[in-house]
Each structure stands twice: as structure tokens, then as C-alpha cells.
Amino acid sequence: MASELHVDAIKHSGGTSALTIDSSGNVHKAGFIVQVVSAEGTTSTDVSGTTITAGGVTASITPKFSTSKIFVAYNLTMRFGHTDGGRQALFRKIDSGSYSNIVTFSRHVIYQNHSNGSNYQGQFLSFSYVDSPNTTGVVTYSHATDAFSGATTTMNPNHTSGDTQTWQLMEIAQ
């Protein structure tokens, strides 16, 4: 005969909670990685103008705990006109809501290596951010950019021949 132990929490002898188990059986321990989600794709997006616009590949995670942090890491290739690269940002939407800008990285994360007229320059970019979405709804992340001086910025410009945007999302219990 199998034995069962039914508990809601395991506590240190000093009274502090070491871990909890919710009604769905999910174990909650501060600092533990609860889940990892990866996404990748080749969606290409052109952005012109000075409004930061989301585009490219997105990644979604549904946190098990509303108090969790989400570690967001992603990579993509960008191509921009010789005039400037534009600002780079991370956008987030919760459930079916609208995207909002949660962090704008310096526009200086992209520099042109050289300028020679109308040629376009490209760079591989990596970003990371720790988010606190405070929800157990679906959280979707998207990279966003704009373009300065009338240029066009392109996410995954060579999407048919190898440019792939990758995402890793990690839920970390608090």
C-alpha cells in the first residue's frame, strides 16, 4: 500500500516558509525556475518613422504564479539605413490587451560600422530583461524599434536565408 503525505507548506523550524504547494499541486520556492519557454521564427518587419513599433517574432508564457519574475532573453538581426539605427525596446501585452513599452534600450545599442551612401548596415543584437508582469494571464513579448532620419529599420532582414529571431522566457518564483 502506498503512503501519501498531504501538506500545504513546509516550514523551517524557525517558522519561515521553505516552500508551498498550491491547490493544483504546483510547488513554489522562491528563486526556483518554474518553467522555461523558447520560441523562434523568421518573421521580417520593416519599420519607418520615429514611433517605436513592435514586430518580428513574439514569445508567450503563462506564469503559474502572479508574483513570479520573467527573465526575458532574445536575439535578432537588424538592418538599418545609413542615417541611424533607431531605438530598441521590449514590448509586452497581457492576454488580449495592447502592447506597451516596458523598457527602451539606448538607441546606441546599434552603431553603423561605416557609412557609404545608401547602403544598409546590419547587426546581430542580444537583449535581456527581468520583468514583473504580476499576472497569471498569457504574457506576450515583442521586440520593437523605430528609425531616425527617414531611414527604414528591418527586423530579420534575411529571413529567407537564415535570419532567425530566438526567445527564451524563464519564470522565476519569488
- Secondary structure percentages of the chain, helix, strand, coil, to 5: 5, 50, 45
110 vs 16, higher pLDDT: 16
Q: What H or E segment, with its residue span, contains residue 42?
A: none
Closest to 78 measured CA to CA, from 57, 99, 98 = 57
pLDDT tier for residue 113 given thresholds of 50, 70 and 90: low
pLDDT score at 50: 84
Give the model confidence (pLDDT) of 48-100 as tens digits. Answer: 888 899 999 999 999 999 999 999 999 998 887 655 667 889 999 999 999 99
**164, 41 Cβ separation under 8 angstroms:** yes
For residue 97, the SS3 value is coil
pTM: predicted TM-score of the whole model, two decimal places: 0.84
Any idea which residue has 491547490 for its cell?
23
17 vs 103, higher pLDDT: 103
Closest to 134 measured CA to CA, from 33, 63, 58, 32 = 63
Span 109-127, mean pLDDT?
Answer: 65
Give the model confidence (pLDDT) of 123-164 as tens digits. Answer: 888 999 999 999 999 999 999 998 877 678 888 888 787 889
For the domain bounded by 29-172, which CATH number is listed?
A: 2.60.120
Q: Residue 161 gets which letter from DSSP?
A: G
Closest to 138 measured CA to CA, from 57, 73, 58, 28 = 58
> 118 pLDDT exceeds 70?
no
d(CA 27, CA 25): 6
Domain ranges of the chain: 29-172
pLDDT score at 112: 56
Task: Report the Cα 17 to chain-centroid distance in Å.
Answer: 31
d(CA 148, CA 151): 6
pLDDT score at 22: 77
Give the model confidence (pLDDT) of 3-35 as tens digits. Answer: 887 877 777 777 777 777 777 777 778 889 999
pLDDT tier for residue 117 given thresholds of 50, 70 and 90: low
